[in-house]
Amino acid sequence: MATEVTERRFAETYLQLIGLSSKADESKYHTPSTYDKLSSLGPSLPAIKAELPRQKSGQEDNVQKKIDMSIKSIKPPHKFSVNLSQVDGSQTVYHLKTTLINEATDLSTKDIKAGDLKLLLKGKVIQDTATLSSLTDESSVSLMCMVSQKPAPSASETNSTGEADPSDQIPVEVKSLSADTWSRIHKVLVEDLRSEPAANEALKKLKKSWD
């Protein structure tokens, strides 16, 4: 009942308001089809004099970014340390490997290919397709490098080169790394990662991959 009274009062009040309003000329009102007849859209805001920041694409950042690279070997028999200055951030890790081979004499003189190298950042292997700018937000980065051992040549390959039969050669036993070697590797990891726990974790992964 209360609702009916309220609706009735609302209707009566609405009708009174309509009666008080005078009918305006339709020419004073505009619809979307007559917006072109408006003489003014109201007061205009002052122009902004400050230059708005321009958003750069990821590709532009890669091209402009330069990175200083420090790469060290961590696994014998190869031993090298290469520093590369102002490397384009748009380059891929694979391209960096080819540059590293040309710069490190220990690699270029031993027929090492890019596929034989593994670059690590904080103990994790970096994919060849990754761009250098994606590795760090800083202007420099330190990487570690592992060189895969080449498989021993098969009997047919050895005989085809005119060398002695493998059965006549003294077999070479591949020994595990000594504790002293692992200690030196751990020292390099601590210097690069600047964190004892991170170095311990990286060393653990390296030992696992070596075994």
Going residue by residue through the chain, which has 211 residues, state the pLDDT in tens, using 9 for 90 and above. Answer: 455 557 888 888 877 777 766 666 666 666 777 777 777 766 666 776 766 666 655 555 545 688 898 888 887 777 888 888 888 888 888 988 888 888 887 777 777 888 888 888 888 888 988 888 888 888 888 998 888 876 655 555 555 555 555 555 555 555 677 788 888 888 888 888 888 888 888 888 888 877 6
Residue 163: predicted pLDDT: 53
Helix (H, G, I), strand (E, B) or coil at 23: coil
Token pair of 66, please?
């330069």
Each domain of the chain, given as residue ranges in start order, spans: 61-150
Please answer whether residues 66 and 140 qualify as being in contact, where contact means their C-beta atoms are separated by less than 8 angstroms: no
What is the pLDDT at residue 194? 82
Fold of 61-150: Ubiquitin-like (UB roll) (3.10.20)
Establish whether the linkage from the previous residue to 32 is cis, with ω within 30° of 0: no
C-alpha count within 13 angstroms, C-beta hemisphere, residue 11: 6
Task: Tell me the whole-structure pTM to 2 decimals.
Answer: 0.43
Sheet holding 117-121, edge to edge: 81-88, 66-73, 140-147, 117-121, 124-125
